[in-house]
């Protein structure tokens, strides 16, 4: 067989936020693993300046575009709408320059893998005659709900108590993504959520960071519309197959973590004794909720490791820290996968961001779900009622979850009557998602299919 002069070159372009960058950069690393594809990650100038350079993006190179906020990023915009509008105008212009620059090099771009929430990237790719692959960073269930709304089959505001969407169990309004259950609160995000379907027919591939076996019915239901390729979990290979020693971090962290202090603290804790608590990179709990959480952690009487981002720590007044007692450790950020992989961790109190949910399933850690917004409410429903790998807390008036409720759920998941069953389910799912990305697994086959088509076309 004649060896090709060059391998296909894929440009990967996530929305500039940690939870979108992580799975997409990881997908890039997976593509390059067998040297069949070259991958470049496009991100904003601001993000590239915020990267922690002690991490490595491995074989994925970084190139930049401008979102119009090179010095401040999203935080400098006066509203979400203003940011998204600038991201589109400055972003399309500078993305076009980036593509042109590469086209005059000896390794032009063949395909753009774009974050599905940023559909204008596909338009720019098509203007330059490139293939386009949409990448959904949320579970299939969430896309199915959004698509149902997009087609006008679920008019907003939702008027019935129980909603039926193909491929999903019945959903209460509180199980729907918050942009859909509260359309007036997040109009810009709702628009972005629905707009991703506007040009999806032009995409050559539709990739999704899920596992077919986790969401069989949801994937089958949407597959009547698009031939979607579940390729998840897009997680560093070490945690899927620990023979791949080097690939332990996603590689583009926007926060600084004190890795050694956390591992030392975890080291002498008994197996399954620690609650790991994190609400991801975006959610803000507010002072009252933080205080209740502190009370709940103390009342659970478990060890806990609580991630509170620097921007949130001001809310944690001294007396709130006193509420937590002496069994905990508070850090600004940590190597989450390392923590979840620790034998000391018995459960994950999480906002149920999709990456955190997949990471917990992958490492067999049961969940206490405390969703805040976006897709987290739907993910929590899946965790509790479909996968039965955890419990969702119940909130009181004004959406506050009281400390006694939090403590009760932690105790249930750690030691309650159904604790063993939840742990066993989490372990079963761990085996199932690992198998999907192992040789011959459903996700591995889909990635191979994607690469083979690119190879034929480039």
Taking the least distance from each CB to ligand UDP, the nearer of 58 and 353 is 353
Taking the least distance from each CB to ligand UDP, the nearer of 215 and 359 is 359
DSSP states of 182-233: STTT-HHHHHHHHHTTSSGGG-SEEEESS-GGGSHHHHHHHTTTS-EEE---
| 375 three-state secondary structure | coil
CB of 246 to ligand UDP, least distance (A): 17
Residue ranges in contact with ligand UDP by CB under 6 A: 18-19, 22, 278, 280-283, 307, 333-334, 336-337, 353-356, 359
Residue count of the chain, please give it: 458
CB of 336 to ligand UDP, least distance (A): 3
Taking the least distance from each CB to ligand UDP, the nearer of 94 and 378 is 378
Token look-up 């070490």 returns 238
CB of 356 to ligand UDP, least distance (A): 3
Taking the least distance from each CB to ligand UDP, the nearer of 190 and 331 is 331
CB of 335 to ligand UDP, least distance (A): 6
**Bridge partners, residue 61, by sequence:** 40
In angstroms, the Cα distances linking 226 to 102, 154, 198, 209, 375 are 30, 20, 13, 15, 21
Contact criterion met (CB below 8 Å) for 66 and 94: yes
Contact criterion met (CB below 8 Å) for 205 and 229: yes
Nearest to ligand UDP by Cβ — which residue?
19
Taking the least distance from each CB to ligand UDP, the nearer of 50 and 92 is 50
Sheet architecture: strand order including 328-331: 328-331, 303-307, 274-278, 345-350, 367-369, 390-392
CB of 373 to ligand UDP, least distance (A): 9
Instruction: Give the Cβ contact number of residue 49 at 10 Å.
Output: 11
Contact criterion met (CB below 8 Å) for 293 and 365: no
CB of 404 to ligand UDP, least distance (A): 26
Taking the least distance from each CB to ligand UDP, the nearer of 94 and 278 is 278
In angstroms, the Cα distances linking 157 to 148, 177, 178, 183, 287 are 13, 13, 11, 7, 29
Taking the least distance from each CB to ligand UDP, the nearer of 336 and 342 is 336
How far apart are the C-alpha atoms of 22 and 337, rounded to whole Å? 12
How far apart are the C-alpha atoms of 73 and 35, rounded to whole Å? 33
Taking the least distance from each CB to ligand UDP, the nearer of 181 and 281 is 281
Taking the least distance from each CB to ligand UDP, the nearer of 109 and 235 is 235
User: Peptide bond before 275: cis, by omega within 30 degrees of 0?
Assistant: no
Taking the least distance from each CB to ligand UDP, the nearer of 278 and 342 is 278
Contact criterion met (CB below 8 Å) for 127 and 174: no
How far apart are the C-alpha atoms of 414 and 404, rounded to whole Å? 15
Contact criterion met (CB below 8 Å) for 250 and 234: no
CB of 374 to ligand UDP, least distance (A): 7
Token look-up 């999907």 returns 436
258's tokens = 């004190």
Taking the least distance from each CB to ligand UDP, the nearer of 210 and 458 is 210
CB of 57 to ligand UDP, least distance (A): 15
How far apart are the C-alpha atoms of 13 and 390, rounded to whole Å? 33
CB of 434 to ligand UDP, least distance (A): 17
Alpha-helical runs (H) found in 305-375: 310-313, 318-323, 336-341, 354-362
CB of 339 to ligand UDP, least distance (A): 8
CB of 1 to ligand UDP, least distance (A): 39
């Amino acid at each position: 067989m004649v060896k090709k002069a060059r391998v296909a070159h894929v440009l990967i372009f996530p929305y500039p936020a940690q939870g979108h960058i992580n799975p997409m950069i990881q997908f890039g690393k997976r593509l390059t693993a067998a040297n069949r594809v070259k991958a470049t990650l496009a991100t904003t100038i601001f993000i590239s300046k915020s990267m922690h350079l002690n991490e490595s993006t491995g074989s994925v190179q970084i190139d930049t575009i401008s979102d119009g906020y090179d010095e401040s990023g999203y935080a400098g915009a006066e509203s979400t709408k203003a940011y998204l509008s600038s991201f589109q105008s400055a972003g399309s212009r500078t993305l076009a320059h980036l593509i042109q620059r590469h086209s005059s090099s000896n390794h032009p771009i063949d395909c753009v893998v774009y974050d599905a929430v940023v559909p204008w990237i596909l338009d720019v790719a098509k203007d330059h005659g490139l293939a386009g692959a949409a990448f959904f960073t949320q579970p299939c269930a969430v896309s199915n709900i959004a698509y149902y709304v997009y087609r006008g089959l679920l008019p907003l505001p939702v008027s019935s108590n129980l909603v039926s969407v193909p491929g999903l169990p019945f959903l209460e309004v509180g199980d729907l993504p918050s942009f859909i259950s509260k359309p007036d609160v997040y109009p810009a995000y709702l628009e972005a959520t629905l707009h991703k379907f506007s040009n999806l027919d032009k995409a050559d591939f539709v990739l999704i960071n899920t596992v077919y076996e986790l969401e069989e019915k949801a994937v089958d239901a949407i597959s009547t519309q698009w031939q979607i390729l579940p390729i998840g979990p897009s997680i560093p290979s070490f945690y899927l197959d620990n023979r791949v020693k080097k690939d332990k971090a996603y590689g583009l962290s926007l926060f600084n973590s004190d890795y050694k202090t956390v591992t030392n603290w975890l080291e002498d804790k008994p197996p399954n004794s620690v609650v790991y608590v994190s609400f991801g990179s975006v959610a803000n709990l507010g002072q009252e909720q933080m205080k209740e959480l502190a009370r709940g952690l103390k009342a659970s009487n478990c060890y806990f490791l609580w991630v509170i981002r620097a921007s949130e720590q001001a809310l944690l007044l001294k007396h709130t820290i006193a509420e937590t007692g002496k069994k905990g450790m508070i850090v600004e950020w940590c190597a989450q996968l390392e923590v979840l992989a620790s034998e000391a961790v018995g459960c994950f109190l999480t906002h149920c961001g999709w990456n955190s949910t997949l990471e917990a399933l992958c490492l067999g850690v049961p969940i206490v779900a405390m969703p805040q917004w976006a897709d987290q409410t739907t993910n929590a429903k899946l965790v509790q009622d479909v996968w039965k790998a955890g419990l969702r807390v119940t909130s009181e008036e004004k959406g506050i979850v009281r400390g006694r409720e939090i403590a009760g759920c932690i105790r249930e998941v750690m030691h309650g009557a159904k604790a063993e069953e939840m742990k066993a389910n989490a372990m079963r799912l761990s085996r199932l998602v690992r198998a999907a990305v192992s040789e011959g697994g459903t996700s591995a086959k889909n990635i191979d299919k994607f690469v083979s088509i690119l190879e034929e076309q480039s």
